[in-house]
Structure 1
Amino acid sequence: MKNPPSLDSLVSALKVLPGVGPKSAQRMAYHLLQRDQAGAERLARALDNALTRLTHCERCNTFSETPVCALCADPTRRQDLLCVVEMPADLVMLEQARCFDGLYFVLMGRVSPMDGLGPREANLDKLAARALDGVTREVVVATNFTAEGEVTAHLIAELLKGRGLGLSRIARGMPLGGELEHVDPGTLAQAVYERRSL
């Protein structure tokens, strides 16, 4: 039996989520349509609202509803210290660990030649402009300790070396192959405190 086109369309849309295959997407679609239509409507409204209202912060590149996000606008943050992370979830983890009082730059990805993602897709040009603003004195590279994260960290170091900035990399207190959003706050805090020069 063939599904109605609208159901196929919903299943196909749900498959864009990471880790969701065809069977999981189908189960989600049936659940939303049969058991939780109110939840489906909330999800649709929230997604529409996010797509309409969210943009990127002009300074740190994270998601924001205003041109400059609340963190970048906070005068109590150290303006001369910039931490580079791959994704907004990594920024959230560092904030939860309460181990960093500077500002951030969110790459919104990482360099991954296998996936066809180069320096442009990782926003390294925007990072260079932000880091070389005349206020930043040190850049802390906090990319993940994956192969892609290491390549990204290396490219950032090459991009910013010899530009009058201090460069450091968070320490390997994190597990090799680990990602920031999955690490406990204590381990993450230790990695930031024990960062090393690049």
Structure 2
Amino acid sequence: MAYSPAVQELMESLRCLPGVGPKSAQRMTFALLQHDRSGAGRLARALQTAAESVGECRLCRNLTEADLCPLCASGRRDPGVLCVVENPSDVQALEDATDYGGLYFVLKGRLSPLDGIGPGELGLEGLEARLVAGEIREIILAVSPTVEGEATAQYLAGMAAEAGVEIARIAHGVPLGGDLDYVDAGTLSHAFAGRSQYR
């Protein structure tokens, strides 16, 4: 069936979301246009505002509208402990499931040379600068136990060793190939509490 250009554009735009295929995009489009025009307008405004105003924290690379995210700006966090995660959603998963009181560094991915993702794409020069500054005494690796996650962990372990910083990794209660933001809170809390030295 041929849709009007505006309807077709909305369906195609919704397909950029993870897990949204052609049928899901079609259902969402019809639901917004047939039953919830005010919701569609609110969604459009929220997307526009977020796209224009949300950037990354200058220290941890988490999503924020300010120079520093609320966690980095807080005086209550331990600046000597740094948890390295793959995605901003991992920060929230750990905050919800654990009593971790340190800071974070968000890679926004993992090393994958075949996909053209190297240390520069993960912002590791910023992490290296923080290590060289000498304030960090421990790094906790909270990366996914995938092939790329393991390669990333190895690389980060080398950086930490070179800087003389203690490095640990969360316990492997997280399933192989799993993403932190999909793991239940109990498993994530247990894995985080049972972290061990990374070798």
Whole-angstrom distance in 2 between the partners of 1:132 and 1:104: 16
What's the secondary structure of 2:17's corresponding residue?
Answer: coil
What's the secondary structure of 2:133's corresponding residue?
Answer: coil
Whole-angstrom distance in 2 between the partners of 1:97 and 1:148: 24
What's the offset of the Cα at 1:11? 1.1
Equivalent residue number for residue 94 of structure 1: 94
Equivalent residue number for residue 36 of structure 2: 36
Q: Provide, for residues 3-25 of structure 1, a one-character-per-residue CA deviation record: whole Å limited to 9, x for no partner.
A: 22111111111110011111211
What's the offset of the Cα at 1:74? 1.2
What's the secondary structure of 1:161's corresponding residue?
Answer: helix
What's the offset of the Cα at 1:110? 1.5
Whole-angstrom distance in 2 between the partners of 1:99 and 1:187: 14
Is 1:84 aligned to 2:61, yes or no? no
Is 1:188 aligned to 2:188, yes or no? yes
Decide whether the 8 Å contact of 1:131 with 1:139 is kept in 2: no
Gaps of 5+ in 1: none
Decide whether the 8 Å contact of 1:170 with 1:196 is kept in 2: yes
Decide whether the 8 Å contact of 1:107 with 1:127 is kept in 2: no
Q: Provide, for residues 149-186 of structure 1, a one-character-per-residue CA deviation record: whole Å limited to 9, x for no partner.
A: 22211221123322111111111122222221122222
Decide whether the 8 Å contact of 2:83 with 2:105 is kept in 1: yes
Decide whether the 8 Å contact of 2:160 with 2:166 is kept in 1: no
Q: Provide the TM-score with structure 2 as the length reference.
A: 0.92
Decide whether the 8 Å contact of 1:84 with 1:141 is kept in 2: yes
Equivalent residue number for residue 108 of structure 2: 108
Equivalent residue number for residue 72 of structure 2: 72
Q: Provide the TM-score with structure 1 as the length reference.
A: 0.93
What's the offset of the Cα at 1:113? 3.3
What's the offset of the Cα at 1:111? 1.8
Equivalent residue number for residue 61 of structure 2: 61
Q: Provide, for residues 104-154 of structure 1, a one-character-per-residue CA deviation record: whole Å limited to 9, x for no partner.
A: 011111223343322222222222223333211111110112222222112
Alignment: residue pair count: 198
Equivalent residue number for residue 123 of structure 1: 123
What's the offset of the Cα at 1:187? 1.9
Equivalent residue number for residue 172 of structure 1: 172
Gaps of 5+ in 2: none
Identity %: 47
Q: Residue type of the partner of 2:100?
A: F
Whole-angstrom distance in 2 between the partners of 1:148 and 1:6: 39
Whole-angstrom distance in 2 between the partners of 1:115 and 1:45: 33
What's the secondary structure of 2:130's corresponding residue?
Answer: helix
